[in-house]
C-alpha cells in the first residue's frame, strides 16, 4: 500500500487506483460536493467494513461500473449526517448506517455521499463498530428470507402490530428453513430473523463446535457439516421449504433436504450447478443483495427490540486498511472486519 499527499483542505481517503489490482493507496482527496436539492446526504464516516472479493468486482463485472469512477472502496459503514437535502427525513447530527452500491464512491473516506434510499437511522446505543458491521449481512439475510422467496415466509410476522404479526406467524409456523454457514455473518442473521418471524423449523448447518451457538441464535436443529454429517442427515431428514445457502460449498449435499417444488437460494454461487436433474423447484437462484434504507430501518427496529448485535471479527485502524481487505478475502474470519475512519 502506498501513501500520497494533497492539499491541506482535502480529506483522508482510500483509493483503489487500478481495478485489476487489489493494491490500495492512502491519500487525500477533495471532499464530495453536497447538493441541497439532491438525493444524497453528506455523512461523516466513523467506521466501514470491507466485503469479501470487493476489490475484484470491477475487474470481474466491468459493465456494472461507470467509466472513470472514483474508486473509493467500502460499501457499508456508519457515521453522522453532516448535511441532508431539504425536506428529507434526515437531519444534521443523525446517527446513521448504510449499504451503498459498489459503483459509487464508498465509505473509506472521512466524509462521503450516501443516497437517501440506502440510508437508515442506526439503533440508539449501537457502537460505530457494530453499526458498520451490520448492513450487508443483515440485508442479505432479510432479503433472502422475505424478498427472494415470495410466498414461503410472511414478513408481516415481524410487524410491530401484534395482530398482524400473530396472523403471519401462524403461517410461518408451518414452514421450514435450512441455513448453511449458520454461525457466520449472513447465516446468523438469517436464523435470528427466521426465529423472530415464527418459523416453525429452522435447521442451521455449520461446524460441530458451533452447534450450541447456532441454537442460541434460534435454530431448532443444528447439523454439522463435518465428516459428511450434513449429507447423511439430508438423506433421511424431513425436507424443508426453503434453503438459504450462506456458505457456498457442498451444495450437492443439502439438495436432498429440499422439498419438491421448494426454493433454494444462495448468496455465494448458482445452486443450479449442483441441482439434481429430477428435482422440481419453484425457484433456484443466486442473488445479490440490494441496498435498501427501508429494509435497514426495519432491521434497526428489530435490533433494538431483540438486542441483536452483529458478529465482529476484529477492528483495524484506517492505516491498516490493506490488511483488513486481505484478512476478509482470506475467508478465515469469525464475523466482519471493521475499519475505523479518522
> Cβ distance 156 to 164 under 8 Å?
yes
Q: What is the pTM of this model?
A: 0.94
Q: What is the pLDDT of residue 332?
A: 82
Q: Does 238 or 228 have the greater pLDDT score?
A: 238
- Domains 2-134+310-340 and 139-286 equal at CATH topology level: no
- Sequence ranges of the domains in the chain: 2-134+310-340, 139-286
| Residue 189 burial (CB count, 10 A) | 27
Phi/psi class of residue 181: alpha, beta or left (left: φ > 0; alpha: ψ in -120 to 50)? left
Unique residue bearing C-alpha cell 464512491: 105
Q: What is the pLDDT of residue 228?
A: 79
Dump the DSSP string for 35-55.
-TTSSEEEEEEEEEE--TTGG
Half-sphere exposure at residue 320, Cβ-oriented, CA atoms within 13 angstroms? 12
Q: Is the confidence at residue 337, as pLDDT, over 70?
A: yes
Tens digits of residue pLDDT in 64-108:
999 989 999 999 999 999 999 999 999 999 999 999 999 999 999
What Å distances lie between residue 274 and 111, 256, 271, 277, CA to CA?
44, 11, 6, 9
Return the CATH fold of 2-134+310-340.
Answer: Quinone Oxidoreductase; Chain A, domain 1 (3.90.180)
> Cβ distance 265 to 255 under 8 Å?
no
Tens digits of residue pLDDT in 105-136:
999 999 999 999 999 999 999 999 999 999 99
Tens digits of residue pLDDT in 320-336:
999 999 999 987 888 99
**Strand intervals (E) in 30-103:** 40-49, 76-83, 95-99
Superfamily of domain 139-286: NAD(P)-binding Rossmann-like Domain (3.40.50.720)
Q: What is the pLDDT of residue 3?
A: 43
Q: What is the pLDDT of residue 8?
A: 52
Interatomic CA distance for residues 306 and 126, integer angstroms: 13
Tens digits of residue pLDDT in 22-69:
999 999 999 999 999 999 999 999 999 999 999 999 999 999 999 989
% of the chain at pLDDT higher than 70? 98
Q: Which of 98-102, 246-250, 305-309 has the lowest mean pLDDT?
A: 246-250
Q: What is the mean pLDDT of residues 195-215?
A: 96
The dihedral through the CA atoms of 230, 139, 48, 59 has a sign that is positive
Q: Buried b / exposed e across 289-321, counting CB within 10 Å, b at 16+?
A: bebbbebbebbbebbeeeebebbbbbbbebeeb
* Residue 111, beta-bridge partner list: 44
% of the chain at pLDDT higher than 90? 90
Amino acid at each position: 500500500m502506498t501513501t500520497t499527499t494533497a492539499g491541506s483542505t482535502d480529506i483522508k481517503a482510500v483509493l483503489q487506483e487500478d481495478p485489476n489490482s487489489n493494491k490500495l493507496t492512502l491519500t487525500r482527496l477533495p471532499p464530495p460536493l453536497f447538493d441541497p436539492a439532491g438525493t444524497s446526504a453528506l455523512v461523516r464516516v466513523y467506521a466501514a467494513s470491507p466485503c469479501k472479493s470487493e476489490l475484484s468486482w470491477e475487474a470481474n463485472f466491468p459493465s456494472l461500473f461507470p467509466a472513470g469512477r472514483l474508486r473509493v472502496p467500502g460499501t457499508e459503514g456508519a457515521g453522522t449526517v453532516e448535511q441532508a437535502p431539504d425536506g428529507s427525513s434526515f437531519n444534521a447530527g443523525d446517527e446513521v448506517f448504510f449499504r451503498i452500491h459498489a459503483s459509487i464512491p464508498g465509505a473509506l473516506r472521512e466524509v462521503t455521499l450516501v443516497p437517501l434510499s440506502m440510508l437508515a437511522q442506526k439503533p440508539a446505543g449501537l457502537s460505530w463498530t457494530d453499526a458498520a458491521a451490520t448492513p450487508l449481512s443483515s440485508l442479505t439475510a432479510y432479503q433472502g428470507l422475505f424478498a427472494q422467496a415470495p410466498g414461503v415466509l410472511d414478513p408481516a410476522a415481524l410487524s410491530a402490530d401484534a395482530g398482524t404479526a400473530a396472523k403471519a406467524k401462524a403461517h410461518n409456523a408451518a414452514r421450514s428453513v435450512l441455513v448453511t454457514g449458520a454461525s457466520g455473518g449472513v447465516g446468523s442473521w438469517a436464523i435470528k430473523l427466521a426465529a423472530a418471524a415464527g418459523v416453525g423449523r429452522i435447521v442451521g448447518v455449520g461446524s460441530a463446535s458451533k452447534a450450541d451457538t447456532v441454537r442460541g441464535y434460534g435454530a431448532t436443529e443444528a447439523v454439522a457439516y463435518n465428516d459428511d454429517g450434513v449429507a447423511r442427515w439430508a438423506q433421511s431428514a424431513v425436507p424443508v421449504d426453503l434453503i438459504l445457502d450462506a456458505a457456498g460449498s457442498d451444495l450437492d449435499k443439502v439438495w436432498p433436504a429440499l422439498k419438491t417444488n421448494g426454493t433454494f437460494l444462495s448468496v455465494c454461487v448458482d445452486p443450479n450447478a449442483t441441482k439434481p436433474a429430477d428435482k422440481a423447484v419453484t425457484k433456484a437462484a443466486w442473488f445479490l443483495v440490494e441496498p435498501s434504507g427501508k429494509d435497514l430501518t426495519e432491521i434497526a427496529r428489530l435490533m433494538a427490540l431483540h438486542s441483536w448485535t452483529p458478529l465482529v471479527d476484529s477492528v483495524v485502524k484506517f492505516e491498516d486498511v490493506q490488511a483488513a481487505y486481505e484478512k476478509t478475502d482470506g475467508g478465515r474470519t469469525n464475523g466482519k472486519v471493521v475499519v475505523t475512519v479518522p
